Structure 1
Amino acid sequence: MRKIPRTMSTQHPDNAKVPDWSKGEIIEGDDEVVEAYYSYLNLKIHEVMWDAEGKDVDTHVVRKLLSNYSEYFREKIIGEDIFLTYRLPNPKIEGAERKVFAETMESIPIAYDLAKEFYKGEKIPVFEVILPFTTSPEEIISVSKYYEKAVSGEEDIELYDGIYVRDLVGEMYPKSIEVIPLIEDKDSMFRVRDIVTGYFKVIRPKYMRVFLARSDPAMNYGMIPAIFMAKYALSTLYSIKNETGLDIFPIIGVGSLPMRGHLNPINYRNALEEYDGVYTFTIQSAFKYDYDEPIVKDAISKINEYTVKEPRIFTNNEEEILKKIVEGYVSTYQPIIESLAPAINYIALNLPRRRARKLHISLFGYARSTGKVTLPRAISFVGSLYSLGIPPEIIGLSSLSRLSEEEWNFLRENYKKMEIDLRESAKFINPDALDRIKDIWNLDEWVTWKIKQDLDFLENNLGIPIGGSDYESKKHVLLSSLALLACKEKREEELREYIREMAILRKSLG
């Protein structure tokens, strides 16, 4: 059995600070190659996700790594000791990126040829790809078959009179690749059994890695639903493993702040304990660059060594309770976010950019008959609400007041670190923010009333105080008031500086 990575470095632009080795405030181009090497060498991260989604992808990354850092990569073999995994654009959703999908797939045999020459032997540096927005088994089956038939299979195309493609460019290796579904929406999380078993029946892999999103579900449905959707999926994946004998190694995409998973160098133990069953954790940019390097390295070492524990496998009745909690929360959360969209989008435009990315707007997971609400991607979404003084973790909490005793007990038993997550978020609440936001963006009265209900539930039902006692959280609250004043007065340069300072204080952009 190959080595399965425990940590995966990603290019998520959630860092407030800029690393010393970056040529500028935006990490782009060859700096991302440097970052990959830094992640392997300095941080001892097992795997790097090379993102071809939403940017101009550098398909020559293997060539650059092997040529620029040859001494290191002669000792650490890509594809055996450390790993490079491509995240593709989903051609069914991102129509303009379809040819990028094809270009990225075509680069895999090129990487093989480079590695064969470098290592003087048969080495496969890239053999896995991640497909975002996976909603059905057919999508990942299609990716697998596309590679087999349109990439490695093209060697059998006859060009002319007995001359084949392989005669011109050589044979194509590897002959097949492994596809990791990245599951991001509620319906697909609840259909994870169909996605995994459907792929298994056709492709018959020896094992599977399944990637569970945590940020986009939190943005679309609320933090607590996102956590329970992930736990539902983990329960289901381990059930499939027990039923079929198929080894499944779940990946979870977590960021530093509670809304996005609360995996950072300070809270990593709690995150590991919260997500039993997860084999690979993403190490995003805020984790890597917003904390002192010694504690970053120590935390990554501990994650790499952590013994994976099996998750709780839910009964049918427990699954129904879980879904009821999720749906009840979503019905409270989504209308509030929809109403806050103008404020969120305005602040998002003033957040500092940390990666060279094409404009990528998320379709909010809720549509009214009046039209569809668009929001920024999850990092900007979270950063905007923190900057406004309303951490998104608290929105929708009052829905929990409607839970039965059985449902409440299930919630407390299965969201083990709820109090820790909410206490961390509550430190950054600005009690004066709501009235100011209402004034600036003409919010309906019911929106501020609903959020005040959430705050009341936080304090009076959960016993978690609003606002922090430490210097950083108090300063953050003051800066959010100044940011709102700057919004009102249209002083965008000052607004951007306040936003940047707040991000540094909370050690994550969003």
Structure 2
Amino acid sequence: MNIPKLMATQHPDSTIVFTAQDEVKEAIDDVLPLERGGRGCDEKMIDYEGKATPYNQIRAVIEEAKYYDIVPGEDFLITPRIPNPKLEDKDRHLLTITAAITANMYSQLYFNTNAVKYVILPMSSSTLEVAEVQRRIIKVQRLVSEEFSLRGEEIVRLIPLFENAESHMHIDEIIEGLRVALIKEVGLVERNFRIFVGKSDSAINSGHLASSIAIKMALLKMWKWQEDTMFRSYPIVGMGKPPMRGHMAEWVRSEWVDAWKGYYTATIQSALRFNTERKDYVATVLKIAEGRGQKPDLSQLDLQDSLIRIAWKASEVYTREIDRLAEHILFMSKLVIGTRARLETYRRKAKTGKELPRAIKFCAALYSMGLGPTLIGAKVIEDLAKGNGENLDILLRFLPLLKKDWGYDLHLTDLDVFKKYVDDKTYEYIRRDIETVKEYFGELPTPKELPEEYFKLLHEVKTSIENSDISKAKANIVKLAEIRGFLG
């Protein structure tokens, strides 16, 4: 199978604001080769999840490609992320499937290809749900073929996106269940599976440590599953620049490839494309493309029982602290600009039931309060270090990027600012997290030093809020993001 390496997405994590009209030209730039000044991706996600994307955007990208000597379906794929009907309106779900299928009429007309070969279902929760959506796609494809002369020789296949640690840790069982469900419910015998695992929502719900362990375990288990069967899995990893969202950043590109070995496709999100110097961007995506498809060390699964215990202990500590921080994060997130046309009705809740913003605004809010998100719950290190420290050693070997995750977030943290946002008890929880990291690891590696202006801006954001100068607070939050190289 010709599996794409680099999937350009429409995540609102850059400081650049895009209209829906801008996104058509953006898509073309994303899939143009690097040597032609493009961004060198071979797959473009058109995103409808919680987003006010026009239904004709897929067709518009196909039609625009005519002027650039690139062929959708051969040089690049267009892969829509559709709304999950359990979380969003069912009409939007059905309309986006229809938009994806009918877009292939135009791709066949102009290029004699199918630009859309896959569709992504976010927040996938069960094999039956995935099988039902696959059946729905086939029904729509059959209808369009019968009524509008679409050649339907190639089924548009569904990519399930799993976004919680529990699913990631049982991904092998889920894929096997999906394989059986597709046979029973759809009559579809599949031998190849593209499975998407996302870091961001898992991290918000379970914390950085648990979500990182689970994602890596998912990659290992997908490779082990295909070794034990006659089938193949092609993992897609969804990660952004901040450590909490995966730390796919130019300053750790080699370490990132090594840490997440086993992926076949990586999401290249907006901040990496638009808030990264061109030479660094090119070097990063070339490195990521070069590193795809490498078999990970499956012997690491021998330690899965210990790793699962570590993950749930870390998640427990994180959940207690995020419950105390939730209202502060939600307040600050309302000051973070939206850089894409999103639907305000689409929200998520924490495990505790409290409302939290989506991952990008979650991270941006915490950084703007003076706190690096991966540090929340880090005092679990003390428990892991008890006895002979074996559990801590296991964690650090399993997550080789972890020290740089913490080091990066430490150098963006200012406890003097953070203290002004929260009550004393919450502050003490976080201070203890930070002191524990420093006590056990001392000086941790960081990218280049931040300018002094960064910390002045942190103070100015808080002062502006106290003075009810919200517009200034919002402007300074963007300036902070520009210095970091990502919004959240």
SS in 2 for 1:77: coil
After TM superposition, the score normalised by the length of structure 2 is: 0.92
Task: Output the CA distance in 2 between the equivalents of 1:288 and 1:467.
Answer: 21
Give the 5 Å matches for 1:496-507: 496-507=474-485
Aligned twin of 1:77: 71
Task: Output the CA distance in 2 between the equivalents of 1:305 and 1:224.
Answer: 27
Aligned twin of 2:410: 426
Aligned twin of 1:397: 378
* Letter aligned with residue 469 of structure 2: R
Task: Output the CA distance in 1 between the equivalents of 2:31 and 2:447.
Answer: 37
Deviates more, 1:189-198 or 1:45-54: 189-198
Aligned twin of 1:278: 263
Deviations 1:63-97 (A, max 9, x none): 32343331434xx3222221110101111222x2x
Matched, 1:453 2:443: no
Answer whether contact 1:206 1:246 (CA < 8 A) is retained. yes
How far did residue 507 of structure 1 move?
A: 0.6
SS in 1 for 2:315: helix
Task: Output the CA distance in 1 between the equivalents of 2:78 and 2:438.
Answer: 45
How far did residue 206 of structure 1 move?
A: 2.9
How far did residue 298 of structure 1 move?
A: 3.1
Aligned in 2, Cα 1:469/1:301: closer, same or farther, shift over 3 Å? closer
Task: Output the CA distance in 2 between the equivalents of 1:467 and 1:484.
Answer: 25
SS in 1 for 2:415: coil
Aligned twin of 1:219: 204
Aligned twin of 1:117: 109
Deviations 1:122-179 (A, max 9, x none): x21112011111111111111111122x313336xxxxxxxxx93x533562552211
SS in 1 for 2:298: coil
Matched, 1:153 2:142: yes
Answer whether contact 1:426 1:468 (CA < 8 A) is retained. no
Aligned twin of 1:159: none
Give the 5 Å matches for 1:214-363: 214-313=199-298, 318-359=303-344, 362-363=347-348
Aligned twin of 1:59: 55
The counterpart of 1:29, out of the listed 20, 24, 34, is 20
Aligned twin of 1:411: 395
Deviates more, 1:323-332 or 1:171-180: 171-180
Matched, 1:90 2:84: yes
How far did residue 467 of structure 1 move?
A: 9.9
How far did residue 416 of structure 1 move?
A: 0.6
Answer whether contact 1:152 1:174 (CA < 8 A) is retained. no
Task: Output the CA distance in 1 between the equivalents of 2:278 and 2:142.
Answer: 45
Aligned in 2, Cα 1:11/1:469: closer, same or farther, shift over 3 Å? closer
**Two-structure CA RMSD over aligned residues (Å):** 2.1
- How many percent of aligned residue pairs carry the same amino acid? 25
What count of residue pairs does the alignment treat as equivalent? 474
Aligned twin of 2:463: 485
Task: Output the CA distance in 2 between the equivalents of 1:269 and 1:316.
Answer: 23
Aligned twin of 2:97: 105
Aligned twin of 2:358: 377
SS in 2 for 1:383: helix
Structure 2: give runs of 5+ residues left out of the alignment. 33-37
Answer whether contact 1:255 1:284 (CA < 8 A) is retained. yes
Answer whether contact 1:429 1:466 (CA < 8 A) is retained. no
After TM superposition, the score normalised by the length of structure 1 is: 0.88
Answer whether contact 1:360 1:377 (CA < 8 A) is retained. no
Matched, 1:141 2:131: yes
Answer whether contact 1:429 1:467 (CA < 8 A) is retained. no
